[in-house]
């Protein structure tokens, strides 16, 4: 079993060659497909939607990792609760009662998660940690691909890993934002177990997707990188 999982950011994929690229991902053992759902309100951008998720789910070779960047999560989540076994994560500051929302997700068969924006402190989300299967730390501000890493977020990853160990919990730690060849080792050393890769690495324009996925594997599994990981990650995946 691989220590670090890959979740390609599907908003960065080549839509004109999507079927071919999906098969390349499956052939190279990609574990998750990260699908960003943006509403134009919580972030000033629109991306993908439930029909896109449904098409990926019907193809069915790779599990979904859905990221809701929406203001009205409690209303819109109903559109995504039918993807049994998928991760479904949201920004907890967008709802009044996040524990209730997380429990609804679990009751409906999806794996509940939270997304921690750079502006949200770890202390703000600690009460939610016992209720989740996934914590996604954003290392850029949500909304767009191609942003630069916010350096302070690396410490947030390592602090989250330490807090998880102290609490005896088993949620997976995902990192999303400027997952570049240069930043991947730093993110893994800090505690990342799932990396959301986009235009900074596997989807670089003009480069071969399969070759870049294999490059990701070599980098993520190198002894120098893995030396920064704890002996037991507690990954819930």
Active site residues: 36, 176
Two structure tokens written together for 190: 């800090």
Is residue 111 within 8 Å of 90, Cβ to Cβ? no
User: Could you give the 3-state DSSP secondary structure of residue 90?
Assistant: strand
Question: Within 10 Å of residue 155's Cβ, how many Cβ atoms?
Answer: 11
Question: Within 10 Å of residue 214's Cβ, how many Cβ atoms?
Answer: 14
Is residue 147 within 8 Å of 177, Cβ to Cβ? yes
User: Could you give the 3-state DSSP secondary structure of residue 206?
Assistant: coil
8: which residues sit within 8 A by CB, 6+ positions away?
25, 30, 32, 33, 34, 196, 197, 198, 202, 203
Closest CA to 60 of 76, 84, 77: 84
- DSSP one-letter code for 223: H
φ, ψ dihedrals at 130, nearest 5°: -70, -10
Two structure tokens written together for 208: 């071969």
Cα distance between residue 85 and residue 66, in whole Å: 11
């Amino acid at each position: 079993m691989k220590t670090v999982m890959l979740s390609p950011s599907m908003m960065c994929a080549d839509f004109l060659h999507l079927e071919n690229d999906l098969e390349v991902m499956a052939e190279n053992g990609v574990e998750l497909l990260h699908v960003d759902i943006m509403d134009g309100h919580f972030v000033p951008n629109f991306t993908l939607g439930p029909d896109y998720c449904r098409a990926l789910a019907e193809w069915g070779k790779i599990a979904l990792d859905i990221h809701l960047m929406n203001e009205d999560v409690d209303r819109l989540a109903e559109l995504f609760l039918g993807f049994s076994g998928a991760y479904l994560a949201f920004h907890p500051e967008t709802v009044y009662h996040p524990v209730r929302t997380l429990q609804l997700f679990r009751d409906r068969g999806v794996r509940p998660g939270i997304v921690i924006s750079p502006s949200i402190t770890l202390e703000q989300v600690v009460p939610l940690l016992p209720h989740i299967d996934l914590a996604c730390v954003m290392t850029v501000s949500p909304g767009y691909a191609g942003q630069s890493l916010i350096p302070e977020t690396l410490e947030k990853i390592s602090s989250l890993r330490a807090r998880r160990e102290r609490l005896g919990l088993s949620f997976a730690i995902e990192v999303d934002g400027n997952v570049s060849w240069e930043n991947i080792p730093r993110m893994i050393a800090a505690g990342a177990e799932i990396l959301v890769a986009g235009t900074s690495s596997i989807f670089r324009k003009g480069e071969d997707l399969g070759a870049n996925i294999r490059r990701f594997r070599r980098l993520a599994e190198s002894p120098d990188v893995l030396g920064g990981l704890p002996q037991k990650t507690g990954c819930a995946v």
